[in-house]
Structure 1
Amino acid sequence: MAIIPWCTEFFPMLIGHCIQGLFGGSVDSVVLAEMLSLWGSESESPMQALYFSFAFGAILSPLVVTPFLHSRDDTGDTKGTNATPYVTYTDVSVNLSVTNENASTYGHTATFTNITTYDLSNTSTQLNEVMTVSPNVDCAQYTNITFPDCYQELMASRYSSDLYIPYSISSGLCLLVSLPFLLLSVLSLLDKFKVPHVDDETRVTKPLSNKLKTVTLLVTGIISGIDTAMEDAYGDFLTAFCVSQMGWTKQNGAIATSLFHGSFAFGRFIGIFLAICFKPLQLVLSYSVLLIAVNGVFIVSGLYGFGEGIWVCSVLAGIGMSVISPSIFTLTEESFFPVTGRIASYYVITACLGSAINSLLIGYLMDSWSDMSMLYVLCAEGFTIFFMALLCYVLVRIFYKEKVKETAIQEEDDGL
């Protein structure tokens, strides 16, 4: 994280993000597996709290980054982030030509690829040629001339945001968080301290066939992938839907998206307490029904232009998908089998794949067919989560219940 903002070339930047993603995904998998090994079948509320911290971090992150992002306009500020490009001139008419290619990084003089004469006495003149940055020379600013097509290269060198600051903050936080775990690891190697994990005997351990375990992982993985895909789809496409389909301004569309993210975080906070009263499968079933109802109202509101329905559904959609992903982990731990590091990694992978596939699908359909296709896809995915949850109910009530009976009989026979 500390190195990424200093990667000015694309390839080193790509490598940096790949490495960050690789280790970030590993951290997610290990943290989820460690959480369940610490709490076992009593992990409903702690898991919801962990996922609430994910949502809270997603809200906090833009607030940390925003103060370090520079903006620009054409007000003529020569020192700050709102500066307009400079031109050299000696009279009301001036020849602008190519200068030395070894341009200074922070040069203040703009030149043009074509030798052209411009009448600078006409303040409406538009200088549209491609701009380059020349070495520092004496220059003067003609503030009333606009340069609509000439900003890119100049702005890249002079008005880059101070993104290294939030990246440094993030890397420092990662270091601080890693130190206690490093200390625990060293102490455990020295036999000075042991983390009180739940005993394996208290975790769900049933003799399962590979076929049953595969079906279970497939069903729960589909729920995990679709839930994450729906979450990312709302965040990525809701603003575009509001602007294109509803005719809203971009600002209102962004507000609707912010409401979704805020209600999503609030729903995960409420899930901490709901997990005390309800089983994970009950939460998945009830929240999938809520998602189906919300998406249905969303479709009607989109077709008939009910703006109030869009506002309400933006909030309810965030709440509806807030507790499903953490409930899958606790459902697996409580009703099926222990969630090891490999199984946690599997759920993380399904979540990433679901999001990637869904974004491509919705983006293609919105471009080639209709903006309403986003809602149709999300509604179908809500039904899919509900049917997969019903399959989980069947697995728990029939197949895994039989396994529990067989295990109890076997233990009685062994005791005799």
Structure 2
Amino acid sequence: MEKENTRSWQDQAERRRKVARSVCVCLCFVCQGLTAAMIGPAFLDLQLITNTDVQQASALFTSLSAGNMAGSLLVGLLYDLFNPSLLLIGGMLMMAVTSAVTPFCSLFGVMVVVCFLTATFAQMFCVAATTEEVQTWGAKASETALQATNCAYAVGAVAAPLIVEPFLAPINEAAGISAANYSVLDPRIQFAGLSGVSDSFLDPRSQDVGNTSFYSIKTSSEVRLNGSFYSNDSVSMPSVPKTRIHFAFSITAALSFLASIPLLVDFITTRQAARNDKESLGCVKALAEKEHRASRNDYHKGRPNLPRTAYLGTLLWVCVFNAVFLAVEITFPYYLPTFVVLQLGWSKSRGALVTSAFWLAFAGSRFACMFLVRIFRPAQILVSCFSLMVPSFVAFLLASLWQLDWLVWLSSVTAGVATSAVVPSGFSWVNDELMPVTGRVTSVVLLAANVGPLLNPMVLGHMMENSGAICLAYELAGEATLCALIFLLLLLFSRTYLRTNYGSIHNDDVTQDLQPLLSVPESVQKG
């Protein structure tokens, strides 16, 4: 009896330690969401710091996607060489350092490198933390822990625009200028109906448009307005306002540093305990490996083998599907604050708030999906998501063309709801109806999926710079429609060709066991 009481007390103490560790990991994921989501609202101010235009500054988003890929590959190389907890803690601390120095990089090339390193270290933490949570709680019990990290990341993303907003550079009112009905066409701005205007062109590297106000203007000897040339050199232009976003980045870095301290303390204490009980630890690992092999054998048992051509072709289309979707999901919140300022004439504060609304809808929908996945099948959830996502981005396009502010808010919120469940439900659906989702398949799909957000900023930045900010709305509507069509084709393929020739590959028990492993945090999905 005494031994049983002692064992029960030890089990309770160990469970409390696991819960405390998972809470610390969730706090770190909040900081991850803060770090990742603050780049979008701060984008215009980062342009001011580096003296770049939209096309050039879009390389920052490309570097973030490249960093996510590098972080995933780096963890794969280092995971067996170092203690996973060291990768987790080291990634968090280094992310805090690189994030803090980002707004101090006046040289654009240096800022690109720093953003790349920030994303790399952030991804190292995400992958290591996800793996640790699964190993700590087991496949089934880790479902709640991983869903909690998903929600924690989204909470940080919601708070990021609110933290950045007070420190954004203000939009100065240019003395002697009143404008109405202008359209933004980078690198120049065409005016209609100006009064008292000096002959000038906007400097695209230091421009910020909103409420007909501009940061700096390059004077020219003459400018064409409504088909005629005018000249007036008497108007004084305002100086370029200074940004204070380094405070926002410093706050986030400090929170990241503080969040990593409990994990460091836990690592030191558990390492000492492990040294005192190496034999028990070895037995636990051996048992876990045995259970993993048995689960893997059960998983493949009874599942049909597709022909090599069909298997590779299906895998290719799954990769394309995820690449197109992530291009939409990541691009929208990154460019949304800049878009509403340049295209709709909003203030930066409103741009930050609408981005926060997107993330709030995303977080709420992700939380609701924790319960919906137990009621609806993955295919049903995906059909619902795309039925809402395509109309949302089409409505966003129409709202941008017709200058309907309320529709911009509504479409941004519905887009957040629609995009929240596609990636985790997509993996579950692929496992149910297309092919077994093994570790190798997951790695290939996640790495290939980053091609979309890696290339999208290059194309979009060029289009926005040369054809106007409205290109963002057109591209998102087109990519969302393309992604929905690819999903429908894959769904028809699985329900006709695969089911007719190979039967159903669905396995309720296996799908339930794999669900925790497939519901990886949002930042891991992007890497």
Give the alignment's TM-score, normalised by structure 1: 0.64
The match for 1:58 is 157
Deviations 1:118-141 (A, max 9, x none): xxxxxxxxxxxxxxxxxxxxxxxx
Deviates more, 1:203-212 or 1:238-247: 203-212
Partner of 1:244: 342
Is the contact between residue 433 and residue 505 of structure 2 (CA under 8 Å) also seen in structure 1? no
Q: 1:33 to 1:165 in 2, by over 3 A?
A: closer
1:128 is matched with none
Task: Select which of 345, 357, 360 maps to 1:262.
Answer: 360
Q: 1:395 aligns with which of 483, 493, 500?
A: 493
Structure 1, 256-265 or 215-224: larger mean CA deviation? 215-224
Aligned pair partner of 2:254 in 165, 180, 197: 165
Q: 2:469 aligns with which of 364, 371, 388?
A: 371
- The aligned length equals 329
Kept in 2: contact 1:243–1:250 (CA 8 A): yes
Contact 1:244 1:371 (8 Å CA) reproduced: yes
1:192-341 superposed matches below 5 A = 192=284, 194-195=287-288, 197=292, 199-203=295-299, 205-341=303-439
Matched residue type, 1:203: Y
Q: CA deviation at 1:325?
A: 0.7
Alpha-carbon contact 2:432-2:505 (below 8 Å) kept: no
User: Aligned in 2, Cα 1:176/1:353: closer, same or farther, shift over 3 Å?
Assistant: farther
CA contact (8 A) 1:302 1:310 kept: yes
- Counterpart CA distance in 1 for 2:373 and 2:269 is 29
Q: Tell me the CA shift for residue 71 of structure 1.
A: 9.5
Partner-residue secondary structure (3-state), 1:308: helix
CA distance in 2 between counterparts of 1:72 and 1:361 reads 27
In the alignment, structure 1 residue 357 sits paired with structure 2 residue 357: no
- Deviation for aligned residue 1:315: 0.6
Preserved CA contact (<8 Å) 1:229 1:358: yes
Given the superposition, is the C-alpha separation of residues 387 and 259 from structure 1 closer, same or farther in structure 2, using an over 3 Å criterion?
Answer: same
Equivalent-residue separation in structure 1 for 2:340 and 2:355 (angstroms): 9
Match for residue 190 of structure 1?
282
| 2:482 corresponds to | 384
Q: Which runs of 5+ in 1 are unaligned?
A: 74-147, 409-416
Q: How far apart are the structure 1 equivalents of 2:361 and 2:126?
A: 25
Note if contact 1:362-1:373 (Cα within 8 Å) is conserved in structure 2: yes
Amino acid at match of 1:218: L
Structure 2 stretches lacking a partner, 5+ long: 1-91, 171-238, 507-527
Query: In structure 2, what residue type is equivalent to 1:172?
Result: I
Structure with more helix by fraction: 2
Contact in 1 for aligned 2:396/2:408 (Cα 8 Å): yes
Shift of 1:370: 2.2
Cα displacement (A) at 1:349: 1.7
Q: Secondary structure at the match of 2:469?
A: coil
| Alignment counterpart, residue 20 of structure 1, candidates 118, 121, 128 | 121
Quote the Cα distance in structure 1 between the aligned partners of 2:145 and 2:498: 25
CA distance in 1, matches of 2:435, 2:284: 31
- 1:18-40 CA-partner distances (Å, limit 9, x unpaired): 762563464378579979x9259
Q: CA deviation at 1:53?
A: 4.0
- Aligned counterparts of 1:55 and 1:177: Cα–Cα separation in 2: 25
**Aligned equivalents of 1:184 and 1:312: distance in 2?**
53
2-structure distance, mates of 1:293, 1:264:
17
Query: In 2, distance between residues paired with 1:184 and 1:384?
Result: 52
Cα distance, 1:55 vs structure 2: 2.0
- How far does the alpha carbon of each residue in 1:210-230 deviate from its partner, in whole angstroms, 9 at most, with x for none? 222222222222222222222
Task: Report the CA distance shift for 1:170/1:252 in structure 2 as closer, same or farther (over 3 A).
Answer: same
The structure number with the bigger radius of gyration is 1
Q: Over residues 287-337 of structure 1, what are the superposed CA-to-partner deviations in whole Å (9 max), with x where a residue is unaligned?
A: 112111111211111111111111111110100111001112211222233
Report SS of the residue matched to 1:199: helix
Change (3 A) 1:31 1:384: farther
Q: Return the letter of the residue paired with 2:299.
A: R
Q: Distance in 1 between matches of 2:436 and 2:473?
A: 36
- C-alpha deviation, 1:341, in angstroms: 2.6
Once the two structures are superposed, what CA deviation does each residue of 1:83-133 show, in whole Å capped at 9, x if it has no partner? Answer: xxxxxxxxxxxxxxxxxxxxxxxxxxxxxxxxxxxxxxxxxxxxxxxxxxx
